[in-house]
Amino acid sequence: MSEFKIAQRETNNVSVLELKGYLDAHTAPKLEEAFTQLLTSQRYRIVVNCKDLSYISSAGLGVFMAYIEDVRKNAGDIKLTNMSPKVYNVFDLLGFPLLYEIFKDEGEAVRKFFEKGR
Amino acid sequence: MVQVLVVAHGGTAHQNKHGTMRLRRILSLGGASILVLIVFTMDVIQKNVELDISGLWVIRNLLIIGATVLVFFFFELLKPQRDQNAVKKLGLLLIASVLMLLVGLVVTFVAQDGFDSKNYSLIPLGYDTLFLASFISILFGVFAILVFRLVRDLTMYKRKKGTQRNFLIFTVLLVVTSGATIGLKPLEKEVIVSILFGLAVTFAIVNSFRLSWIVYLTKREKIFSLVYGFFLFGAFIVLNIILQTGVVNKSLLYYSYPLSEFVSLVCVFGNIYFGMAFVSTLFHLPTAEAFDRKTSEVSSLHNLSKLITQVFDFGELVDTVTTMTLQVCEAKSCWLEIIHPPEEIHRQADLPGSSHVIAGQYHIQLVGMKNITRAEVDALLPAGEHTVRDEVLQERRPIVVDDVYHDKRFKREKKEKVSIGSLVVVPLVSHSGLVGILYATKDTDHSFFQDDVDVISAFADQATIAIENSRLIKTSLERERLTREMMLAQDMQKRLLPQSLPQYLTLQIDAISTPAFEVGGDYYDFVRLDERRLGIIVGDVSGKGVSAAFYMSEVKGIFQALSRMYPSPKEFMMKAHEALSSSIDKRSFISIIYAVLDTTTGELMLSRAGHCPMLLVSDNHIGYIRPAGMGLGLSNGEVFSQSIEEHTVQLRPGDICMFYTDGVTEARRGEDEFGYERLLDATVAVRKKHASEIKHEVLESVRTFTEHQANHDDLTLVVLKWCGKGQEN
């Protein structure tokens, strides 16, 4: 079973988390940690790039639910991008597209923050 | 004399435990008394009637020797009841000696020399002299026996082979010397007796080197022994002088030459022995403290090694460790800090009075202290600053701070609050890493020496093992508790699933649910809404274990209650969301698929809340039915209600509806998933079979796909096959 990795970078004052591998109950705490860190350093504009995310379980989805409320309270958002069809299907089944903005491309998501900002 | 006898009898009477012992004591003492009385009678008669029987002296001496031996045995028989330590015995003997000395001095200086010497014999002039001589002789005889016994016991302490032999030689010489005088008149001298006496004294000196009892005394006892030894030595010198001169000497010689010889020899022995004891104690005194400490170290280490098995109460263990640390190095105060492994922090946090210090990657907790307060420790080693604590953590070896007051590692204003001269810090290191840190302090500076550090280190090793064991036991107990909890949850979950399947003529139903771990998050259920309609539900609670089982039971309650009230699946979903959203944790959610089947017409109404779509295998449609709808607990009621759709399907005979959880589609083989297509193909391939067989075959396909590896996720499958009216199962 391949592991789970997170790479973090900043583009135009937007924090981008790149997820790679399997996000399940075992690896979810890693993502939680990353979100907690962003929130404590008051970074609320978050884009999660799922390009290399090969699997997400319900526990993985729960992580997004745990932080979205706080992020939005602080005029920020979590936007999801670059999902493989398989991963998108998991999000879609649960109705996540109703709750999160999901983009094909990371740049699009980042731009969306500035449209709103203006 | 008679009075002495009575007192002695009184003494024995209440001590008796065994009849035979008592009898023997009475016999020995009674025998001795009778012998003494006979001798006394003889003396009185001789005083009045001039008897000139040559053997009379010998008979008289034999009687007195017999009496002495009997008294000796009388005291031997008392032995089991008297088990005092050496110093106490010395003290008692000192009292006896002083009394004897007083009696002796009074007799020497006050009493008249009432003896007439004639032809080497001593003849008492009056009855008073006769009485006095008898009394003094008996008194000294008994005293000599007591001294002999005491010195014998002391000499035999921790005896070796040679010890016993040397003392036996002395005893034989003592007996022979005394016995050799049996035929002598009181004022006669014999060279052989003098030689024997000299030999006996030589062996008395040899025996006087046996003083090993002194070594094992505590410092306090040694001081007492020193004082006693000194006074005993002095008392015996005077006693010996008295015994060799004046009235006492004459009285004893008159009474019995052998007894006089015995008393003299024993008193000389006592004199030498107590003199030696005094000198020896004097030499032992400087090392007494070190000896005391070594003794207490040994006993503390021994106690701690016993404690290793008593590790169920951690608080008690900590208390023992700190108490013993004080003991082994005579520290003023000490405290113990425990280092928690990072993964244990959240569990230990609820320990009483916990205060955590984080130094580097270590989480340190002060768990026990003696003669020092938490505030003082904090002042001495402030959290967040670089202290000796960090140094020990880094170097993992004991560190001694000789002068806390002038040490740069301690800040001046902080250390003034705590009166600590020197400090030793010892890490508790086990094979798995650092377990804790032990601190000990003394009032004065430069007070910890290398041997202190060695002792504390040795002690720390023992403590480490004890603490490690305690932790291991705690972990295993915890694991056991969790396992029990899991089994309970598993049991509860099994009972949440339907115990029997609903029976309809028009319908075949089968279902299975297998949890991945002990407790899963999958749920399925059926409810007869009325005589025609059947409610079917399949759900998946995010997360696993006990919390999942808890949510499941909630879902079951809601399903059983609401399904009958709201026959439309969409309405049911909305009400279920309402009921659940208040109690559900924000990172958890529940996905549900809910269908209502009219068992007379085959009309199926379907709603989905974030769950896997229903698979329909029908003549005119093979594929997934996926009405829109988001999971329960993800958002507020409005968004949820708007997302829910309802779908109606008209079933025809032979149609198959399959409900399942993501454990089926996400069953994995390496990177590959079983997926929707394989599920569809597997179902279509067996569509002609009975619902039970379909269930079995599909499950088998999944298992074959995963190569029978343990399933990664829970797996639930509910198969419905519509047979239609008039068709038998």
> What CATH number is given to the structural domain containing B637?
3.60.40.10
Who contacts B144 (Cβ-Cβ below 8 Å, separation ≥6)? B262, B263, B266, B267
Same domain, B67 and B90: no
Give the gap in angstroms from C-alpha B692 to the nearest C-alpha of chain A.
28
Residue B1 resides in a domain: yes
Same domain, B122 and B262: yes
**CATH fold of A4-108, please?**
Transcription Regulator spoIIAA (3.30.750)
Give the gap in angstroms from C-alpha A106 to the nearest C-alpha of chain B.
24
Q: Where are the alpha helices (DSSP H) in B510-623?
A: 545-565, 569-581
Whether the pLDDT of residue B663 is over 90: the answer is no
Per-residue confidence at B310, pLDDT binned at 50, 70, 90? low
Which residue is listed with tokens 């020797």? B65
Query: What tens digit of pLDDT does each residue of B672-711 get?
Result: 889 999 999 999 999 999 999 999 999 999 989 988 776 6
Per-residue confidence at B415, pLDDT binned at 50, 70, 90? low
* B630: nearest CB among A25, A54, A95: A95
* A93: nearest CB among B521, B587, B610: B610
Residue B488 resides in a domain: no
- Comparing C-alpha atoms, which of B639, B525, B541, B659 is closest to residue B590? B541
Whether the pLDDT of residue B451 is over 90: the answer is no
Same domain, B632 and B679: yes
Rounded Cα distance, B317 and B367, in Å: 10
User: What's the pLDDT at B84?
Assistant: 65
At B310, which amino acid appears?
Answer: Q
Give the gap in angstroms from C-alpha A61 to the nearest C-alpha of chain B.
8
Assigned token pair, A46: 């978050």
Is A118 at the interface with chain B, CB within 8 A? no
The backbone torsions φ and ψ at residue B416, rounded to the nearest 5 degrees and listed phi first, read: -65, -25
Cα B581–B587–B589 angle (5° rounding)? 50
Give the gap in angstroms from C-alpha A62 to the nearest C-alpha of chain B.
4
- Contact between chains at A94 and B610 (C-beta distance less than 8 A): yes
Same domain, B691 and B609: yes
Same domain, B164 and B76: no
* A94: nearest CB among B543, B587, B591: B591
Assigned token pair, B276: 């030696």
The 10 Å Cβ neighbour count of residue B534 is 21
- Comparing C-alpha atoms, which of B40, B13, B7, B39 is closest to residue B26? B13
Same domain, B521 and B624: yes
Angle of helix A58-73 relative to helix A28-40, nearest 10 degrees, comes to: 10
CA torsion A82-A84-A86-A90 (nearest 10°) is: -10
In this structure, of B102-106, B133-137, B211-215, B546-550, the range with the lowest mean pLDDT score is B546-550
- The pTM of this model reads 0.53
Rounded Cα distance, B296 and B323, in Å: 12
The domain boundary residue, chosen from B83, B109, B129: B83
Same domain, B592 and B687: yes
What is the domain range of residue B544? 498-722
Same domain, B89 and B79: no
Between B605 and B343, the more confident residue is B605
Query: What tens digit of pLDDT does each residue of B200-227 get?
Result: 899 888 888 888 888 878 888 888 889 9
Per-residue confidence at B8, pLDDT binned at 50, 70, 90? very low
Ramachandran assignment for B336, one of left (phi > 0), alpha (psi -120 to 50 degrees), beta (any other) = beta
* B643: nearest CB among A55, A65, A98: A98
Is A69 at the interface with chain B, CB within 8 A? yes
- Contact between chains at B630 and A86 (C-beta distance less than 8 A): no
Spacing of C-alpha B606 from chain mean position: 66
Is residue B668 within 8 A of residue A86, CB to CB? The reply is: no
Domain count, chain B: 4
Same domain, B679 and B600: yes
Please give the interface size between A and B, counted as residue pairs whose CB atoms are below 8 Å apart: 63
Query: What tens digit of pLDDT does each residue of B551-561 get?
Result: 888 889 899 99
Is A54 at the interface with chain B, CB within 8 A? yes
Cα B51–B54–B59 angle (5° rounding)? 90
Between B701 and B355, the more confident residue is B701
Same domain, B243 and B97: yes
Assigned token pair, B195: 């030689």
Which residue is listed with tokens 């291991």? B472
Structure letter (DSSP) for residue B631: P
Same domain, B158 and B93: yes
What is the interface pTM, i.e. ipTM, of the complex?
0.86
- Comparing C-alpha atoms, which of B648, B308, B590 is closest to residue B462? B308
The domain boundary residue, chosen from B242, B265, B299: B299
Same domain, B43 and B98: no
CA torsion B549-B550-B551-B552 (nearest 10°) is: 40
| Residues of chain B found within 8 Å of residue A25, distances taken between Cβ atoms | 543-544
Give the gap in angstroms from C-alpha A94 to the nearest C-alpha of chain B.
4
Is residue B434 within 8 A of residue B393, CB to CB? The reply is: yes
Q: Testing the interface with A: which of B343, B517, B542 to mutate, by most A Cβ within 10 A?
A: B542
Q: Testing the interface with B: which of A23, A56, A65 to mutate, by most B Cβ within 10 A?
A: A65
The domain boundary residue, chosen from B430, B447, B477: B477
Please give the C-alpha separations between residue B248 and each of B35, B65, B244, B682, in angstroms, as whole numbers: 22, 19, 8, 125
User: What's the pLDDT at A31?
Assistant: 92
- Contact between chains at A62 and B713 (C-beta distance less than 8 A): no
